[in-house]
């Protein structure tokens, strides 16, 4: 949405004055950012003489949110983003967008509501913004731009999806049987009608949780992605309802915190009115137990799940990364001007690669970045065990852990032989400042080594697949003096082997297999200085080298050295 910039500026000056005048009933909040990237491309490939060797890009932006609180029960926020891309001058390249608008409040002292932009989630199998493996483990260097990408996309740490619509939450308390009943209801629009062939597509749902006591709660969730019939001339209506039930026990026994949880449910994906579309129905269950010893800092959890091959849940299976998109920087390269494959450098700094809205069916994915659970825990056609172990020193001097998932297909793809998917990583962090009692200083080192193997044997050679991914990540943070920190990181990601990737039709049914063969590695190594003016304001200067190697020579090898200047402020 483009607005006249003078109008916006005048409006904000007036509002700022009002905020002084009206005793903080109106106030401004938001964020500001300035970023500059300097990329230097190099390659050993002889057939690349045309790719620009140096590129510079960046932007400055400010998010100005006006908060209006006409009464204690109502809050209205409208936020605009003013952005000027690097190189813009006298208004050229400047954009004004409405970033968010919402009204929220409490009705009758018990009913919470929010209209407009809302962040929402339910459970792993109904509605959750799943973080992919490539983004799962943050790094001190890659995390700097990654945080901003996630801020831009409204990806939150509690895995909500940003939606537009309305939500109502309330609870009823009782004296007997159950302590409380919690109601959460939402409805949002994920796609507008075009008044011709495409209906409004809505996403609605909610949950009802019975809290029997602090130890036990149970309930159900419902989420449905559906076309709102009658909003266009379309005669085929998508419907994807998901119903799940949950139960959770918590109990403390001899200073051990025990937890057991179950989620189970069914889904249906259909295109009502279509004679050719299938009806996909299936179920899942997921059982987890956890024990945590507070005194020692050890916690162990283990679980088993079975997610049917036709389980479809749009709100839980939509991936963050859209692998159909292409990176913004060096989008085409080489003398043949091929589209450059998405690499880690792009994943951590390019917001245009990400999905902002949930979609029906199953998106395509890249096996090198997660072949086992591309759609998160709700990935269909998977069953098996998961284990998580964490040991945190009680004085917070160190932390070690491991996670593992041993999964298989539920049913075979094109053969009765099942694929095995083994994923795992070990992690360790050493906080030397705690060991040596260096108060007010940071001195951390951490590392993670991870792997993922996909294997399928078989009597015929064409049944066999073997794809191995390995990743490593090492981080270092040290306070030089005051609030100035030195950060450094090395991250390596490599995949080798062969896989048959399912190709799906518009109804997410497998119709063919694409032969996927890879032997590549990519790495980021770099260091930087970070200065914290305040808790919410910091300046970073980073330098990194991104390297891409392809032993199969299907893509050109290259390096991109990047310096980054990053100023970030929240207010």
**Given the rule CB under 8 A, which residues bind other proteins?**
215-216, 247, 249, 251, 253, 260, 262, 264, 282-283, 285, 287, 306, 308-309, 381, 410-416, 460, 462-463, 500, 502, 509-513
Instruction: Give 167 or 501: the residue with its C-beta nearer to other proteins.
Output: 501
Instruction: Give 283 or 541: the residue with its C-beta nearer to other proteins.
Output: 283
In the complex, what is the shortest distance from the CB of residue 409 to other proteins, in angstroms, rounded to a whole number?
A: 8
In the complex, what is the shortest distance from the CB of residue 126 to other proteins, in angstroms, rounded to a whole number?
A: 16
In the complex, what is the shortest distance from the CB of residue 497 to other proteins, in angstroms, rounded to a whole number?
A: 17
Return d(Cα 335, Cα 333) in angstroms, integer.
7
Count, residues in the chain: 571
Instruction: Give 136 or 252: the residue with its C-beta nearer to other proteins.
Output: 252
In the complex, what is the shortest distance from the CB of residue 475 to other proteins, in angstroms, rounded to a whole number?
A: 39
Strand stretches in 192-315, DSSP E? 200-211, 216-228, 237-253, 256-272, 280-293, 298-307
In the complex, what is the shortest distance from the CB of residue 339 to other proteins, in angstroms, rounded to a whole number?
A: 19
Cβ partners under 8 Å of residue 324, min gap 6: 363, 364
In the complex, what is the shortest distance from the CB of residue 15 to other proteins, in angstroms, rounded to a whole number?
A: 42
Cross-strand pairs, 405: 386, 423
Instruction: Give 13 or 411: the residue with its C-beta nearer to other proteins.
Output: 411
Instruction: Give 174 or 462: the residue with its C-beta nearer to other proteins.
Output: 462
In the complex, what is the shortest distance from the CB of residue 500 to other proteins, in angstroms, rounded to a whole number?
A: 8
Cβ partners under 8 Å of residue 228, min gap 6: 193, 199, 200, 201, 202
- φ/ψ region of 425 (left if φ > 0, alpha if ψ in -120 to 50, else beta) reads beta
Reduce the DSSP state of residue 136 to 3 states and report it: helix
**What does the block give as tokens for 304?**
């088993």
Pairing of strands 382-392, 338-339: unpaired
Instruction: Give 380 or 526: the residue with its C-beta nearer to other proteins.
Output: 380
In the complex, what is the shortest distance from the CB of residue 407 to other proteins, in angstroms, rounded to a whole number?
A: 16
Strand stretches in 310-394, DSSP E? 332-333, 338-339, 382-392
Q: Collect contacts of 345-351 with beta carbons under 8 A, ≥24 apart.
A: 345/524, 345/544, 345/546, 345/560, 345/562, 347/134, 347/135, 347/321, 348/135, 348/142, 348/143, 348/145, 348/146, 348/149, 348/524, 349/37, 349/145, 349/146, 349/149, 350/149, 351/149, 351/152, 351/153
Instruction: Give 395 or 515: the residue with its C-beta nearer to other proteins.
Output: 515
Reduce the DSSP state of residue 358 to 3 states and report it: coil
Cβ partners under 8 Å of residue 165, min gap 6: 115, 118, 186, 187, 188, 189, 202, 203
Instruction: Give 69 or 417: the residue with its C-beta nearer to other proteins.
Output: 417
- φ/ψ region of 10 (left if φ > 0, alpha if ψ in -120 to 50, else beta) reads alpha
Q: Give the chain's radius of gyration (CA, Å).
A: 25
Instruction: Give 340 or 383: the residue with its C-beta nearer to other proteins.
Output: 383
Cross-strand pairs, 376: none
Instruction: Give 278 or 447: the residue with its C-beta nearer to other proteins.
Output: 278
In the complex, what is the shortest distance from the CB of residue 183 to other proteins, in angstroms, rounded to a whole number?
A: 23
In the complex, what is the shortest distance from the CB of residue 215 to other proteins, in angstroms, rounded to a whole number?
A: 7
């Amino acid at each position: 949405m483009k607005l006249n910039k003078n109008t916006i500026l005048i409006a904000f000056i007036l509002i700022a004055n009002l905020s002084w005048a009206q005793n903080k009933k109106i106030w401004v909040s938001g964020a500001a950012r300035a970023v500059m990237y300097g990329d230097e491309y190099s390659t050993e490939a002889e057939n690349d003489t045309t790719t620009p060797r140096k590129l510079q890009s960046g932007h400055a932006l400010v998010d100005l949110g006006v908060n209006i609180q006409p009464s204690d029960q109502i809050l209205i926020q409208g936020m605009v983003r003013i952005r000027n891309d690097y190189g813009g001058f006298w208004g050229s390249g400047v954009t004004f967008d409405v970033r968010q608008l919402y009204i929220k409040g409490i009705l009758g002292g018990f009913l919470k509501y929010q209209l407009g932009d809302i962040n929402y989630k339910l459970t792993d199998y109904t509605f959750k913004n799943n973080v992919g493996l490539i983004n799962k483990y943050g790094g001190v260097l890659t995390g700097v731009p990654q945080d901003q990408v996630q801020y831009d996309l409204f990806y939150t740490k509690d895995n909500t999806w940003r939606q537009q619509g309305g939500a109502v939450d309330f609870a009823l308390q009782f004296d007997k049987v159950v302590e409380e009943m919690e109601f959460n209801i939402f409805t949002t629009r994920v796609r507008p009608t075009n008044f011709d062939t495409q209906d409004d597509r809505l996403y609605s749902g909610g949950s009802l949780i019975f809290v029997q006591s602090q130890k036990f709660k149970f309930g159900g969730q419902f989420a449905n992605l559906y076309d709102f019939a009658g909003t266009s001339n379309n005669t085929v209506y998508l419907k994807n309802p998901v119903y799940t039930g949950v139960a959770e026990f918590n109990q403390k026994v001899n200073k051990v915190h025990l937890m057991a949880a179950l989620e189970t449910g069914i889904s249906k994906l259909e295109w009502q009115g279509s004679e050719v579309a299938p009806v996909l129905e299936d179920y899942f269950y997921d059982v987890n137990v956890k024990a945590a010893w507070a005194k020692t800092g050890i916690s162990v959890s283990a679980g088993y799940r079975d997610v049917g091959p036709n389980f479809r849940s749009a709100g839980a299976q939509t991936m963050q990364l859209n692998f159909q998109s292409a990176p913004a920087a060096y989008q085409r390269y080489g003398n043949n001007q091929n589209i450059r494959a998405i690499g880690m450098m792009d994943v951590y700094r390019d917001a245009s690669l990400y999905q902002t809205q949930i979609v029906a069916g199953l998106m395509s994915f890249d096996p090198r970045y997660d072949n086992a659970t591309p759609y998160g825990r709700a990935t269909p056609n998977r069953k098996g065990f998961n284990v998580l172990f964490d040991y945190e020193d009680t004085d917070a001097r160190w932390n070690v852990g491991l996670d593992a998932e041993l999964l298989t297909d539920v049913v075979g793809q094109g053969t009765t032989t099942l694929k095995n998917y083994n994923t795992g990583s070990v992690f360790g962090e050493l906080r030397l400042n705690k060991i040596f009692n260096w108060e007010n200083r940071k001195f951390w080192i951490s590392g993670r080594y991870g792997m993922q193997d996909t294997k399928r044997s078989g009597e015929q050679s064409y049944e066999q697949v073997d794809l191995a991914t390995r990743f490593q990540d090492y981080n270092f943070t040290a306070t030089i003096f005051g609030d100035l920190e030195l950060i450094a990181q090395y991250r390596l990601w490599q995949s080798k082997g062969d896989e048959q990737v399912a190709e799906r039709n518009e109804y997410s049914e497998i119709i063919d297999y694409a032969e996927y063969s890879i032997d590549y590695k990519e790495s980021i190594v770099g260091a930087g200085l970070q200065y914290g003016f305040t808790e919410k304001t910091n300046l970073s200067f980073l330098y990194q080298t991104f390297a891409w190697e392809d032993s199969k020579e299907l893509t050109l090898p290259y390096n991109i050295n990047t310096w980054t200047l990053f100023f970030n402020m929240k207010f």
